[in-house]
């Protein structure tokens, strides 16, 4: 059965007295903890189920077109993949306790590195990549293209097959950016601990 989840496009008011002042220890906190501590106090940076979404309809700030809508279900590779240019909702899914299932990178800008020396580097998601200029130029010119989907179709199909064969409902989307950081990924999330934390999220709002 399809479940719908909703992410605000920034329409929910954020009150100053609710701003999170929880301390982040970048030397000890893992990436997921850092994301949750950073986004915890912003109601626009978490997803809501259909019952909570419907309860928002009575609010003065509510706008019908002020939401991104995601469907949690079995998906087929032949379907159109929701795509976002220049940003990613991945952090909002992590903040909402969805389970990260897979991240299929459609481009390669270089090789992983354990440290930064001379040259150009790209840092993100806890990884450091030493940039290969020729690969970077190709990536900038091709992110977001259908060609990259076709070139990586076998890898993408493996994730679809794994989740569908395990009868796991999931949400997927594509996110890409060409400058200054460069990425093009298809991300897969399942329900994770969303249901267990639902009451906490409602109270925090």
93-115 pLDDT, tens per residue? 999 999 999 999 998 876 555 55
What's the pLDDT tens digit per position in 42-66?
899 999 999 999 999 999 999 999 9
- Closest by CA position to 89, among listed 200, 9, 179: 9
Sheet strand arrangement including 171-177: 83-85, 171-177, 183-190, 99-105
Query: Rounded distance, CA 122 to CA 118, Å?
Result: 13
CA distance 11 to 9: 6
Q: Where are the domains of the chain?
A: 3-105+146-204, 108-142
Which tens digits make up the pLDDT trace of 126-169?
Answer: 566 667 777 888 888 999 999 999 999 999 999 999 999 999 99
The pairing of strands 110-112 and 121-124 is unpaired
Query: Among 23, 71, 36, 27, which residue's Cα sits nearest to residue 50?
Result: 71
Q: Which residues pair with 190 in a beta bridge?
A: 99
- Cα separation of 107 and 142, whole Å? 9
């Amino acid at each position: 059965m399809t479940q719908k989840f909703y992410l605000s496009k920034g329409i929910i008011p954020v009150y100053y007295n609710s701003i999170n002042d929880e301390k982040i220890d970048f030397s000890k906190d893992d990436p997921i903890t850092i994301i949750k501590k950073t986004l915890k106090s912003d109601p626009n940076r978490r997803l809501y189920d259909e019952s909570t979404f419907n309860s928002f309809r009575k609010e003065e700030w509510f706008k019908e077109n002020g939401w991104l809508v995601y469907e949690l279900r079995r998906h087929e590779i032949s379907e159109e993949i929701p795509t976002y240019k220049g940003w990613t909702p991945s952090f909002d899914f992590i903040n909402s306790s969805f389970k990260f299932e897979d991240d299929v990178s459609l481009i390669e800008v270089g090789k992983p590195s354990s440290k930064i020396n001379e040259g150009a580097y790209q840092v993100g998601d806890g990884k450091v990549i030493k940039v290969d200029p020729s690969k970077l130029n190709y990536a900038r010119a091709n992110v977001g293209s259908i060609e990259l989907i076709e070139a990586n179709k076998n890898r993408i199909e493996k994730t679809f097959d794994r989740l569908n064969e395990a009868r796991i409902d999931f949400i997927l989307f594509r996110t890409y950016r060409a400058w200054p950081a460069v990425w093009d990924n298809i991300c897969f999330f399942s329900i994770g601990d969303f249901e267990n934390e639902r009451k906490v999220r409602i109270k925090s709002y």
